[in-house]
Amino acid sequence: MTAITNRYDFVYLFDVTNGNPNGDPDAGNLPRIDPETNHGLVTDVSLKRKVRNFVDIAAEGPGHEIYMRERSYLNDNHMRAYAALDITPEKKKLPKEEEKARALTRWMCANFYDIRSFGAVMTTEVNTGQVRGPVQLTFATSVDPILPMEISITRMAATKEEPGKNDIRTMGRKHIVPYGLYRCHGFISAHLADKTGFSEDDLALFWAALQTMFDHDRSAARGEMTARELVVFKHDSKIGNAPAHKLFKRVTVGRARQANLPEGDALPPARVFEDYAVHVDTADLPAGISVERMI
């Protein structure tokens, strides 16, 4: 398929209610947080994982396999490329013939959606090259500081019977954010899409993932997570018509004053999305830029 010919920059807002959007394994799985500001964090890796999972269940047919799949062995995928192209692998090295080396990387891009989108470093023992993907995401940061809570929970069943022990309940901990609205920025490069073959169909699938991926990622730990806003700035050229940071400034998120709250009273902590107001400034857009709110 033909690669996309437009650059895109976008702002993505999602929230969590009584859940842990992205635990930190180095901190007892506490919600990730910026220690200087207490703003919550969700890594780009976490968001890409959810996109991969959505594509895995929503897309069928050639070109929609997932390379970075849970409990998979990457070298096995690399060997498939060598077998398909009838090339003999050499440990840790690409073929000396440049066309064969490029053919291996093209095969991986053509068959795996996440390589075509996000890129991959495939220089393992079975080497199929390295790809920089056209779709990149930043860490998501909460709009306001968050206050993670540690909740005690009880398990009513025991692992095994212990003679003389009548109370078999065990205690545990659950970490949650009562409410947090997170903001992420994203970039899609038409120039890099040319190199991986990222197409208009791939782009449509990516937008669909951002809009509905949380509906297919429910778990007891993550509480209720919901996509709230997807504001897409489309450039009418490959190279782009305006700096991304200036476009992002057009999307502002602030607290909404409740109608029943007297003037001058401090706002209570946010607990629902409606406690915020999102504004997109579309006045005097730079030439060649169009904007669409997809959610």
Q: Report the alpha-carbon distance of residue 134 to residue 61 in Å, rounded.
A: 22
Q: What pLDDT, in 10s, does the model give residues 142-174?
A: 999 999 999 988 878 777 777 877 777 778 889
pLDDT at 222 over 90: yes
What is the pLDDT, as a whole number, of residue 287?
97
Q: Label residue 288 by pLDDT band (50, 70, 90).
A: very high
Kindly tell me the sign of the dihedral angle through the C-alpha atoms of 273, 226, 208, 78: positive
pLDDT at 197 exceeding the cut of 70: yes
pLDDT at 155: 79
Whether 109 and 197 have beta carbons less than 8 Å apart is answered as: yes
Q: What pLDDT, on a 0 to 100 scale, did the predictor assign at position 267?
A: 86
pLDDT in tens, 3-33: 999 999 999 999 999 999 999 999 989 999 9
Q: What is the pLDDT of residue 166?
A: 73
Whole-number pLDDT of residue 226:
98
- Tell me the C-alpha distance between 206 and 198, whole Å: 11
Quote the pLDDT of residue 280: 98
Entry field: residues in the chain: 295
pLDDT in tens, 82-138: 999 999 999 999 999 999 999 999 999 999 999 999 999 999 999 999 999 999 999
Q: What is the pLDDT of residue 264?
A: 66
Q: Model's pTM, two decimal places?
A: 0.94
Percent of the chain with pLDDT over 90: 85
- Per-residue confidence (pLDDT) for residue 290, from 0 to 100: 98
pLDDT in tens, 240-279: 999 999 999 999 999 987 767 767 678 889 999 999 999 9
Q: Amino acid letter at 288?
A: G
At residue 156, the pLDDT reads 81
pLDDT (mean) for 167-183? 89
Long-range CB pairs of 115-122 (<8 Å, 24+ gap) are 115/67, 115/196, 116/63, 116/196, 116/197, 116/198, 116/202, 117/51, 117/196, 117/198, 117/202, 117/206, 118/48, 119/192, 119/196, 120/67, 120/68, 122/74, 122/78
